[in-house]
Amino acid sequence: METKELIAKYEPQMIADRRHLHENPETSHNEFETTEFIKKALTECGIEVAEIGLKTGVVGILRGNEPGKTVGIRADIDALPMGELTGLPFASKKEGICHSCGHDMHTSILLCCARVLSELRSELKGNVMFLFQPAEETASGAKEMIACDFTKVLKPDCYISLHTAPALTAGMIGVKSGPAGASADAFKIIIRGKGGHGAHPEKFVDPVMTAAYVLTQLQAIVARENHPILPGVLTIGSIHGGTAPNIVPDSVEMGGTLRTLDAEVRTSMQKAVDRIVTCGCEAMRATGEVIWNYGIPPQINSEEVTNRIEAAAVKVIGADHIIHGKYPSMGSEDFSCMSELAPAAQFSFGTGNDENPDTRRGLHDGRTQFDEKGMLTGAGVIVQYVRDYLQ
């Protein structure tokens, strides 16, 4: 049977799953009900649930009729700590939590793929690993799954993933090989001086002025150290210090984020931040400390895997429904951690339409709606990819 027909058979269940999950969102590391829902659905279609010690999240295993390679398919399952403003009949029942990034769709699509592929078990020469990953929104879930060593159960030869894309019309997908998403590191800078009365600058060491100096000098990393064709973004998003206009505080704290598309650029920019904070503070008679929260690597989509995704999509939706991304995003996604384990690629699937402007809103917006027709496309491409790869 054609992949499109198989997916269509399960579309009503996929939509029902999505609406149930949408009504009952759970934030990162709290996806307990979602985890049980997934386990039940996998068990009902005869898929093995591997126990690897995860608090939340699920690893499902489908072993084909004959030995062969293993495909890892990843979907994130967590929601965001923000209120929903859509007014949909199946809107979130939990105040201050909603699925405005589409992870409910990702999860439902992967459950649909599990049901379809379990029917096709006899034709598969190899295995499928279904990775329902927690805590993508905190960029910690992929690392947690890797720390639990899920590859001891089966070691995928490649990984694929997908993500909602409001800018694309439902029924279309977007692909891009090579650098596709940025690394993400957070940092805190503590600048220590000597407080005093604002009328007597000779008696204090001003951490506020030092912070201003350091902040401007940090932008020189992007402007005057990075290679012009290797992007980097360095943003200071918070500054805290002082209590009154005429009192100079002892210290100031700044918080920021660093994003790059290249591992070497990431390392060099981190070193540059350390250097400029140390030396810049010294020049102003203060001291500076950088505390790093090292995040996730850049997402590098394998050309081979991306080409296979595109070939599968041609069969399911046609070449005229495939958009080739021109530029990478400086946004981040922790699927990049799994991309370091084996060749991997993520594609985007359209969830927008021109009839409903709210489907064109960006992600992480409480008013965002998603065209559910896009789920057919996402599931179809994944199932076709697996059928092609394991035959």
Domains annotated for the chain, with CATH where assigned, are 3-181+298-389 (3.40.630.10), 184-296 (3.30.70.360)
In this prediction, residues 24-51 reach a mean pLDDT of 98
pLDDT digits (tens, 9 = 90+) for 262-309: 999 999 999 999 999 999 999 999 999 999 999 999 999 999 999 999
pLDDT at 379: 98
Instruction: Give the dihedral of Cα atoms 198, 199, 202, 206; nearest 10 deg.
Output: 10
Structure tokens at 287: 């001291």
H-assigned helices in 24-120: 32-44, 103-119
Give the closest residue to 136 by CA, choosing from 116, 164, 114: 164
pLDDT at 108: 98
pLDDT at 127: 98
pLDDT at 267: 97
Indicate the residue type of 136: E
Q: What is the DSSP letter of 367?
A: T
pLDDT at 50: 98
Q: pLDDT tier at 54 (50, 70, 90 boundaries)?
A: very high
Neighbour order of strands in the sheet with 58-63: 48-50, 58-63, 125-133, 66-76, 158-169, 344-352, 173-175, 322-324
CA atoms within 13 A on the CB side of 263: 7
